[in-house]
Amino acid sequence: DQQVKQNSPSLSVQEGRISILNCDYTNSMFDYFLWYKKYPAEGPTFLISISSIKDKNEDGRFTVFLNKSAKHLSLHIVPSQPGDSAVYFCAAMRGTSYGKLTFGQGTILTVHP
Amino acid sequence: KAGVTQTPRYLIKTRGQQVTLSCSPISGHRSVSWYQQTPGQGLQFLFEYFSETQRNKGNFPGRFSGRQFSNSRSEMNVSTLELGDSALYLCASSPRLAGTDTQYFGPGTRLTVL
């Protein structure tokens, strides 16, 4: 049972434009969501997170939006840069399940110069 | 602050052997979680330790075990290795603060089982 889904395996964007990565979840008990960026053979790097009590969190070029009624979150990267090319994972956790993140399958983002 | 460190970075074993992987969390972090990443299954949670106690466990067989020491360093052990255990094993640490539990990952240990 895939509780966190990233339905787009890949996304290609031109440098300077907006990248929008999407994530859906099915478990309504999730109350904390995170986005990670990952390069091959490296560990995921934390990007940004959002608590379920918020609907938006912004950090520099990265903004995460949460729509609880739709059980959907998205990561916006503006402007996109070639160095953003990587695999992006969304992850979710329940407040009572510390330390256990449930990950989506990842989206490969390619930013073309 | 130094990040999460994992040793060794690469390991080659044969079927039936056992292996121990080590993880040192970020200084001050008390929670350590372990994940397995494979091409087919993605990133899957193995277990989490906090204050030397296993608090959470994923759906993995008993061949996978771990422990945490008083200095928060953690080890994970896989016994009777199978070919399917070949994966990138990732360790993550967090400060374990209520309401926000961002985990920071190490570079991983690449285990190859022949």
- Cβ contact A106–B108 (<8 Å): no
Q: In chain B, count of helices (H) and strands (E)? A: 0, 11
Nearest to B100 among A32, A41, A43 (CB): A32
User: Are the CB atoms for B36 and B25 separated by under 8 Å?
Assistant: no
How many Å apart are CA B42 and CA A12, to the nearest integer? 21
In tens, the pLDDT along A8-31 reads 999 999 999 999 999 999 999 998
Residues B69-85 pLDDT 10s: 999 999 999 999 999 99
- Residue in chain A closest to B32 (alpha carbons) equals A99
CB pairs under 8 A between A and B: 78
Q: Give the whole-angstrom CA distance, residue B48 versus residue A21.
A: 28
If DSSP codes are grouped into helix, strand and coil, which group holds residue B72?
Answer: coil
- Residues in contact with B83: Cβ distance below 8 Å, sequence separation at least 6, in sequence order: B15, B113, B114
Mutate: best of B4, B48, B103, B109, partner A, most A CBs <10 A? B103
Chain B residues 28-47 within an 8 A CB cutoff of chain A: 31-33, 35, 42-45
Whether B44 has a pLDDT exceeding 80, the answer reads yes
Per-residue pLDDT band for A41 (boundaries 50, 70, 90) equals confident
B4 interface with A at CB cutoff 8 Å:
yes
Which of A42, A93, A98 is opposite residue B107, by nearest beta carbon? A42
d(CA B93, CA A31): 19
Query: Are A34 and B102 within 8 A, CB to CB?
Result: yes
Q: Show residues of chain B in contact with A105, CB under 8 Å.
A: 42
In this complex, do B103 and A89 lie within 8 Å of one another by their Cβ atoms? no
Q: Nearest-CA distance from A40 to chain B in Å?
A: 10
Chain segment A50-108, per-residue pLDDT in tens = 999 999 999 999 999 999 999 999 999 999 999 999 999 999 988 766 678 899 999 99
Chain A neighbors of B33, CB-CB under 8 A: 99-101
